Every structure is written in structure tokens, then in C-alpha cells.
Chains A and B, each alone.
Chain A
């Protein structure tokens, strides 16, 4: 239970300063678990409103990096600047099953009319009709959309997405990607999307990072005009380049 107090204390110490050019600024970040170095001297910046995808194999440190940014893990060595208005959507929706959908969205929201705000956010993700439902009656895709609404209603400057579509079926995943793309364009938070789906990264991100052995092995801009089609020449070329870097031949 003390973890909460610690996390709360940390959250007040290292906010991104208003005059910084970056939403996120990491310098020389190192994270260890015992003798294992998970993140090594990592540098990373994300501009306000930028959509960054973070690729990497299992165990490459993706989730650790995201948890560090979310301040869910203890403060690491190095410099970390991230906005106070940071929120995350995880692989599982993590809704409170004993609170109706709108109450989950409004959870901890300190605004004048939380119910109204929650309703608006649910409307944005197309779930107005599930406003009063119990979370355990939702489908996987619906639950994840509620989680998105819960994140967006907080007007984050940094939105962390930790493989949010990994547990969904292929069709639902495509719909969710379109939804995230639309919401990002409407609200313009900086986004860090952790994924191991190269197509997903190319469909959504301005920039793709490849994390390998605790270091950023590749930092490439995605210059494909939006809306992006996975069968366009530019898309196919970028994908081939990325897969080659990942050591996968097509």
C-alpha cells in the first residue's frame, strides 16, 4: 500500500517544465533488476502531439520503459521528464468490475460535472449505449474502448499505450487502430505506443523506435501520408526496411 504514497510523491517531483520543447525527455536512463540491465543509458524525446511507436522483442525493455514513464516503477537513474497529465491504456482494460461503465470513466476525475464528461468521452468512442453497463458484460473491444475513454477524459498530454490491441481479434484490432488514430488527431496528446506489430506501428506513428537490449537501436521517421493504406508503395517499402532491421526476411 505504501507504493501509492511513493508513486504520488514521485509524481510531484519531475514534471515536464513548461518551457521545454519536449513532452517527454529522457537522458541516460538506466533500469536494473538485480544484475540484469533492462534499460541502459537510454535517451528519448517525444515532442508534444507526436505519435511514437516502440517496437521490440519480448524482454527488450519496452514495458519497463513505459512503466517508468507512467511512474509505476520506482524512479530510475538518469533524467526523466514527463507531463503530470500522463495516462495509460494497458493490454487488459483494467476496469473496476463493480463500477458501471460511466463511473469507471469518471474515476478520480476532479471536474465540475464528471458524469457529463464521462458521457461525452463514451460518446467519442461510440459507447453511449453502454453508459450504465457492468464492465464484465462488455466485449473485449468495448472494454478497451472504455479504457480509452477513461484515458482521454483526463485530457492527457502524454498517452501511453501498452499493447492495447494485442488481446483483440484481427477485425476489432483494425477498428481500434482507426479509432485511436481519429482520437489522437482530435486531441493531439503525445503518444507512446508499445507494440510488436510492425503494420500497426506504420499505420499509426510519426516515428518508430526499435528497442533492443535496453538501447534504442533504430529511430526512424515514418513518411507515409495519412490516411495510410497498408498496400501503398511507401508503406510496403517502410515495412520491408523495418522487418529487415528486426532480422526478419520477407
Chain B
């Protein structure tokens, strides 16, 4: 039975292969474009009210309006600044603690249990407390972002330092490297990929923290625009906010990826490209 079926099967396959196959980029972009088209069709045919679900075209129009009326730029700048400062503080703190705990047993004993306990607490739950402590200015938002960003940096860096290849450490020891050289030439470079994974996670958490912090109390920023829009039933502006968050998240992720390509040029996956 197999003997009879197999040639037919292979003939069918070769016959059904089209002469032209769309390029990969086109194949990947087609489904989301189709979804957008359906969205546009359903909304412009009047199946939904534009207050529940505005058409993609309307969203773009309102985004354009936000830009030309000058509403977007200052709010975007404020949001970017919050993330930048929060990340700078959080990444620095996570790095310092990760290095201290990773590079010495005493540091580990002193730091690790505390950080491990603190990280089980969802940092966003601290927002009410932060507002009580720091008021409703910039400080509570930056503290929340910094706090959220510091944990993935710490955890990844600590694990990466401790995961350094024993065999390489032995070889370095054998070659007569000083402790400083071992740390600088062996331990830290081997921990760099782990650190960069932590950085990507930290960026993701920083954006989420920003969204939450800005929606709870703010008088400026993308989150403020969105909350304002909700009050005035401007659903299209809410979508604008979502779009901006998505683009910002994507852009920063790309930034870390290009950093990875630059810093980890020695990795075989990257060498193959």
C-alpha cells in the first residue's frame, strides 16, 4: 500500500509547489496587515461605535492631531525622562549589588537574602506607600521604576557571575593571572551575556512601571494623556497612548539588541551572520 501511495504523494507535493513564493518579510507582515484591514472594515462599516472601538484610520488622525497641537512632545519627553532616570538609578543599584554579592561570599551573605526577600514583593504594590512617602511628584514614579528595574539586573548578574566556567577560571589561575585580572578578563566578560538579558528584562519592567505610575497620579506624561482621554471618552487617544508605549518598548529592546551585537561579537551565533 505504501509502495503505491508514496509516488503519488510526492508527485502531488511537487505539483502543488508554486513557482513563486512570497519573500519572508512579506509572509510575516501579511497576517498583522490583514488583521488591521479587518479592523478597519468592521469599524468603518459601522458595526461598532467609534467610542468603543475607533477605526485605525481615526487613531492615526488623532495621533497626528496630538503631534501638531503640541500635546504629544512635552508629555512624551516627561515619560522618557522618567524611564531614563529610573533605569539609570535601578540599573546602577542592581549592578553594584550584583557585583558585590557575586564577587564575594561576604557580599553574598550580606546582600542576597535581603534582595531575595524583597523581590518576592510585587514592586507595583508599593505605589500607595511611595505616594505617602514621596508625595505625587516625580520621586515616587522614579523610585518605582528604579526598584522594578534593579531586581532583574541583580538576579541575572549575580547568577551569571556565579555561573562563570570553572575550567576557564582554573586555566586563568594556572596562567598566573592576579585576582583583579581574573575578575576583569574572565569573570566579568563571561557574566556580560547574563547582564544584558537582565537589562532587557529591566527595560520591560521599567515601561510597565511607568504605565502604572503615570496612571495612578500624574499631571503630565503619556499615562496622563491616556487617563485624561478616558475621562473625556476619547477612545482614539487611549489607543494613541497604547501605540506609543508599544513603539517605545520595541525601540528600547532594539537598542539593547544592537548593544548585544556590539558587545558579544565573539559569539558564534553572531559570527555566523
Contact = CB atoms under 8 A, between A and B. Distances in A.
Nearest to A5: B179
Interface in A81-96: 87-88, 90, 92, 94, 96
Given A108-B181, A134-B271, A72 B173 contact: yes
Interface string A1-27: 111110110000000000000000000
A136 B267 contact: yes
B174 A70 contact: yes
A134 B167 contact: no
B84 interface: no
Contacts of A72: 170, 173-174
B105 A2 contact: yes
Contact of A154 (B172, B175, B268): B175
Interface in A104-150: 107-108, 134-137, 150
A70 B268 CA distance: 31
Contact of A108 (B168, B177, B266, B268): B177
B105 A90 contact: no
B249 interface: no
Contacts of B171: 88, 90, 94
Contacts of A135: 266
Contacts of B266: 97-99, 134-136
A90 B168 CA distance: 11
B103 interface: yes
Contacts of A70: 174
B218 interface: no
Contact of B104 (A1, A97, A98, A150): A1
Given A94-B167, A107-B185, A4 B174 contact: no
A96 B104 contact: no
Interface in B58-89: none
A123 B67 CA distance: 63
Contacts of B174: 70, 72, 87-88
A135 B189 CA distance: 14
Contacts of A88: 171, 174
B176 interface: yes
Contacts of A3: 173
A94 to B, nearest CB: 4
Nearest to B183: A1
A108 B181 CA distance: 8
Given A98-B266, A136-B266, A108 B271 contact: no
A84 B172 CA distance: 15
Nearest to A100: B266
A108 B167 contact: no
Interface string A39-65: 000000000000000000000000000
Contacts of A5: 179
Given A72-B170, A97-B266, A150 B175 contact: yes
Contact of B268 (A96, A99, A136): A136
A4 B167 contact: no
A210 B106 CA distance: 44
B186 interface: yes
A150 B170 CA distance: 14
A171 B192 CA distance: 37
A79 B148 CA distance: 56
A97 B193 CA distance: 12
Contacts of A99: 185, 189, 266
A2 B189 CA distance: 19
A5 B177 CA distance: 11
Nearest to B182: A4
Contacts of B177: 107-108
Contacts of B185: 96, 99, 107
Contacts of B190: 98
Contacts of B264: 98
A104 B172 CA distance: 10
Nearest to A135: B266
A107 B173 contact: no
Contacts of B181: 108
Given A5-B179, A154-B175, 18 more contacts: A1-B104, A4-B179, A4-B182, A7-B173, A72-B170, A72-B173, A92-B167, A94-B167, A94-B171, A96-B189, A97-B266, A99-B266, A107-B172, A107-B175, A108-B172, A108-B178, A108-B181, A137-B271
5 contacts: A90-B171, A96-B185, A107-B177, A107-B185, A108-B176
Q: Please give me the 4 A-B residue pairs with the lowest Cβ-Cβ distance, nearest first.
A: A94-B171, A98-B189, A108-B177, A108-B175
